[in-house]
Every structure is written in structure tokens, then in C-alpha cells.
Structure 1
């Protein structure tokens, strides 16, 4: 998240030094999980003298780290330990976090809502919260991986 903010700052240029945008123009978008956002929340706290940036953070919010369920310790026989140690369910209110750092918050409930959020203009910092179910995430990822492998083999 801090890297995305730094990239957005570089794109906005330095009005004091008179330099133009660096590395392209337009908003920066970053995709991250809710635990990643939580671990790097401080990156959104900026000084009042910092210039504005156009940054859209798309946060996959599944109340913890479902990605870890794809690893060995995510197997069913480790479910209890996995939930406490790796999934680490949180009670983070992303709308309140956005308000605290002066960012806009958009809650997305489905694919069309995400398409609309990504298609809207980005002005300032926005957190787009995409709510996902953590239950069954590992099985969904495995099924998607298998489909991708099959598609790759059928192309070759």
C-alpha cells in the first residue's frame, strides 16, 4: 500500500520543483487483501502539507487471510490452528478507517458493482471494499487453478 501511495505521489509530480508527472499520468490502482491493508494502514496517514494523489485501493475483504488456506497448514485437519494463527479473523471497519484518513469508501457486493467502481473517476484516495466469503476459498482457488491448467493445455 505504501508503494502504491509512493507511485501515486511520483505520478502527481512535484509542484514545488516544477516537475511534471513521473511514470505516466492518471490514477494509481492497487489490489490488496484486508490483512495487507491492516498491516500497512499507517501508509495512508499523510501530513497536511503533502500534495493530493489519486489512488484507488481495491481491498479483497474476507475477514482474514484466506490465501493461506491454499498452503499445507490450510488442510482440513489443521482447521482450528489455521483459523487462529493464519486466517486471523479481524474486526476492521474499512469505512471507519477510510473516514479516519480522509479517504472515500465504496462497498462492492458483486461483479457489476466492482466494474462500476473501477470505471468511475478516481479523485483523491478511495478504498473500494470487495466483500468475499472466506469459507471454501481454498476449494474455489483449487478449482479455478485446475480450470486455468486445463485451458493452458488445450491451447498448446
Structure 2
């Protein structure tokens, strides 16, 4: 019944997913066509998309190679390109904790549990806890459909 209550009372501003600027952008989508004028940003996005399933280190090696050939170029870092794409498209992932055995997710009524209600595995990695910071055993990413549809439009 708890999950039914959480779903029934879900809203864009409930703090469980999108927040702040993302909710504002979802409710007030951009109406202009995006135009990138910076050639380094265009190149960085093209490389990022081309290396879609590659490691971050692959992007960085290409970036270093381009900078060696063109010392004045200001190609953004991998981290900067990811944030540039979020700024341009509004598409971002929501990260939630999950059981290490994939039994359940620690959201809604399970958000504050310290162990999985199905298998009793701990929510947090006991070995990685330092200075009171809790690290989940596992996470999953959800990419909301609303911003994706707006980006396509």
C-alpha cells in the first residue's frame, strides 16, 4: 500500500526525481532552435556522440591529441561536454540506489532503509564508508521520457 500512496501523491516537485531547473524547463520548454557557434563545442559534442559507448579516457586522449596539434584550441573536458549537453537538451539521468542483488530500489517508502527488505543485504557498502559518507552498493540511472521528447521536438 505504501507504493500506491507514493505513486498517487507523486508530483514533479516531490524531490524524488527531477528538480529545480529541470522541472522548470519541462514545464516551460525552449521554443527556439539551438545554435552552437563555438566550433570547439561542436567538435567536442561530435566526438562525445561518436564515442558513445567508449570510456571517458578515450575522449580525453583525443582531446589531448587535438590540443597538441592545435595548441590554442579550447576543447571542453569530458565532464564539461556532459554538462553542456544537459544544458542544451535538458536530458539528464536520475540516479537511485538499488540492492546489490537487484531485489529492490531504495526509493519511496524504501528510501531510508539500511537493508534490503527482500534479501537483507546492506544498502550501503560498509568498506567504503569514510567520514560518515555512505556509498550505496549499487545504483541505477533513469532517463525521464519528458525531457527526451522535448529534445526531439
Would you call these one fold, judging by a TM-score over 0.5?
no
Q: Which has the higher strand share?
A: 1
Normalising by structure 2, we get a TM-score of: 0.29
Normalising by structure 1, we get a TM-score of: 0.29
Q: Which has the higher helix share?
A: 1
